[in-house]
Amino acid sequence: MGPEIIKDTAMTTSNEFGYVDEEGNVFLNGTSGPTKIGQYAAGEPTDGLAFFTKRYHDLVSEIELASARLKDGKGNLDSVTALVEKINQSLESPNLLGDFDKLKAGRDSLLVGFEERKVAAAAKKAEVKAAALAKREEIVALAESLANSTAWKVTGEKFKELLDQWKKLPTGDRGKEQELWKRFSHARSAFDKARRAYFSTLDAGRAEAVTAKKAMVKKAHELADSTEWAATTTSYKQLMDDWKGVARAAKNEEEKLWAEFKAAQDKFFANRNAANSVRDEEFGKNLEVKLELLKRAEALLPITNVDAAKATLREIQEAWEKAGHVPRNDKDKIEKRLKSVEDAIRKVQEEHWHRTKPEVVDRANTLVTSFEASIAKLEKQKLAAETAGKTDDAAKIGQQISQAQGLLEAAKSGAATLG
């Protein structure tokens, strides 16, 4: 509750802090007597007393709210400063009715809270600046690590992201920030310079590629109607190798040139395939002839008479040549089958020639003679050992004779197959 309002006989309205006379003059009680602090002419004296008293209560409410916010760490220092100034003005030039000692105590309490809040705010500000500086150092370190990157798109976007992060950070030590900014700017400039150089070179290379590929497209169109199937196929293969060896043009240009090149190439190969289909149909009868010749050739296997087989094979080969071309898809298969017969006859012929070579026969006969002489010599040694009563020696020599006789039989068997 506020101070009690009292009306006296002199037509004044008062409370413990002051009064309002019948003319609306407002007086503040003090140790040296009442002091006029204003006038209220808009109503009754009681209204004036209530008005100036309310000013006091409003100011006290502001002090209490500000004190509570400072205590909670949420008070705005500029607002507190303005409030202290307002209190001081009210104390120096009173314009309200109330307990001025309470106002002084409230002001002093605010000043204490203000200083505490100021210290805390300074510490927080220093902490924020330190964190911002650390973040800037982190940004610079990452930027410098990206300076030599050739991942142009990804790295370019990363530099933009780092710049945005830098701009959002609170300011701190200007000198250190400028030093870090120089490093960041240098790293970004180095990357941008390398990227511009790369794409400048790339554009030049693409221009050369376009020129080269346009020439290839022109050549491909010139070949599209050719009927020199083998030679033109080789030419197209070379053009394809050349195409792959040239740098790519810009995407749209590359796709356009390739579409033109491929259209010409497809036209030629479609014509070639159509011609091959007609030719293969014509060659179908030749295939039937050669399949019959193959049956005759394969019937010679296994070879029992090499001379007769050779004679028959020569007839088949002559007829084969006269039969002419066959469809491309069948050519390798039937020629492989004929070659198998040719190889079989050649193998038998070589084996026969080897068996009838004079030097081979002579070596075989010499080997037989050598074993026979060796056995005769061993038999004499055995007889001598038996005569001398050397049974153990005679037995060993007998074993050697048995081994030599086995080798002799093998040599004779081999020699019998020769000649």
pLDDT level of residue 17 (50, 70, 90 thresholds): very high
Distance CA 49, CA 45 (A): 6
- What's the order of all strands across the beta sheet hosting 13-15? 6-7, 13-15, 18-20, 25-28, 35-39
pLDDT digits (tens, 9 = 90+) for 86-129: 999 988 889 899 999 899 999 998 888 888 888 887 888 888 88
CB 249 within 8 A of CB 294: no
- Model confidence pLDDT, tens digit, residues 25-59: 999 998 888 999 998 888 888 888 999 999 999 99
What pLDDT digit, counting tens, does each position of 284-302 carry? Answer: 889 889 899 999 989 988 9
Torsions phi, psi for 20 (to 5 deg):
-125, 125
- Residues linked to residue 25 through DSSP beta bridges, in sequence order: 39
Q: Where along the chain do its domains lie? A: 6-123, 132-200, 204-275, 284-352, 358-416
Which of 43, 52, 42 shows the shortest CA–CA distance to 3?
52
Q: How far is it, in rounded angstroms, from Cα 253 to Cα 411?
A: 81
Mean pLDDT, residues 236-265 taken together: 89
By percentage, how much of the chain surpasses pLDDT 70? 94
Whether this prediction's pTM lies above 0.75 is answered by no
Q: Which of 29-33, 61-65, 76-80, 385-389 has the highest average model confidence (pLDDT)?
A: 61-65
Measured in degrees and rounded to the nearest 5, phi and psi for residue 246 equal -100, 145
What is the band of 138 on the pLDDT scale with cuts at 50, 70, 90?
very high
The backbone torsions φ and ψ at residue 206, rounded to the nearest 5 degrees and listed phi first, read -65, -35
Residue type, 175: G
